[in-house]
C-alpha cells in the first residue's frame, strides 16, 4: 500500500467520523422535545456566572432604553434579564422578560410559551455542567 492509499484511507475515516452527529448536552437533556431545545438554543447562557449584571440591573437598563425609544437595546437587556431568570429557575420571570423582548422586536420567542419546560431543562443543564466546571478548576 502506497502513501497515497494510506492518506485516502485516513481521509475517508475522518469524513465518516465528522458526519456522525454528536449530540450536545442540551440536546440530550431535551431529548425528543425539539421545540424546547430550540427555545433554549436562542436564549440560554451556557455559563451565566460570567454575566456581571443582576436581573435588577438588566430590567433597569431595558426600561431606560425603552423610555429613550431605543427599542433594540431595550430588547437586548430584556434578553439578558430572561437569560438570568433561566439560571435563577424562575419560569414566570422567563416568560415575562422574553415576552417584553418579543413585544419590542416583533420576533417570536418560543420560550415564552414553554417557560416551565425550558427552565426545567436549563436547570438540569446547569446542575450537570456548572458543577463539573467548578470541580475542574
State the pTM of this model. Answer: 0.79
Residue range 88-127, pLDDT digits in tens: 999 999 999 999 999 999 999 999 999 999 999 999 999 9
Residue range 4-14, pLDDT digits in tens: 555 455 544 44
Task: List the one residue out of 121, 73, 122, 120 whose CA is nearest residue 101.
Answer: 73
Q: How far is CA 101 from CA 10, 47, 77, 83, 128, in A?
A: 49, 21, 8, 12, 29
**What is the model's pLDDT at position 20?**
45
Residues 6 or more apart in contact with residue 129 via CB below 8 angstroms: 25, 46
Cβ 82 vs Cβ 101: under 8 Å: yes
Cβ 76 vs Cβ 35: under 8 Å: no
For residue 67, the SS3 value is helix
Angle, helices 91-105 vs 55-67, to 10°: value is 20
**What is the model's pLDDT at position 95?**
98
Amino acid at each position: 500500500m502506497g502513501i497515497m492509499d494510506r492518506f485516502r484511507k485516513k481521509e475517508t475515516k475522518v469524513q465518516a467520523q465528522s458526519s456522525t452527529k454528536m449530540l450536545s448536552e442540551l440536546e440530550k437533556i431535551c431529548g425528543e422535545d425539539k421545540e424546547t431545545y430550540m427555545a433554549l438554543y436562542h436564549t440560554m447562557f451556557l455559563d451565566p456566572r460570567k454575566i456581571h449584571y443582576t436581573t435588577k440591573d438588566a430590567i433597569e437598563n431595558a426600561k431606560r432604553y425603552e423610555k429613550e425609544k431605543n427599542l433594540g437595546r431595550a430588547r437586548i437587556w430584556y434578553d439578558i434579564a430572561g437569560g438570568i431568570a433561566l439560571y435563577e429557575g424562575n419560569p414566570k420571570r422567563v416568560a415575562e422578560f422574553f415576552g417584553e423582548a418579543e413585544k419590542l422586536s416583533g420576533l417570536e420567542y418560543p420560550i415564552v410559551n414553554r417557560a416551565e419546560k425550558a427552565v426545567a431543562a436549563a436547570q438540569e443543564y446547569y446542575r450537570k455542567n456548572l458543577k463539573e466546571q467548578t470541580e475542574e478548576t
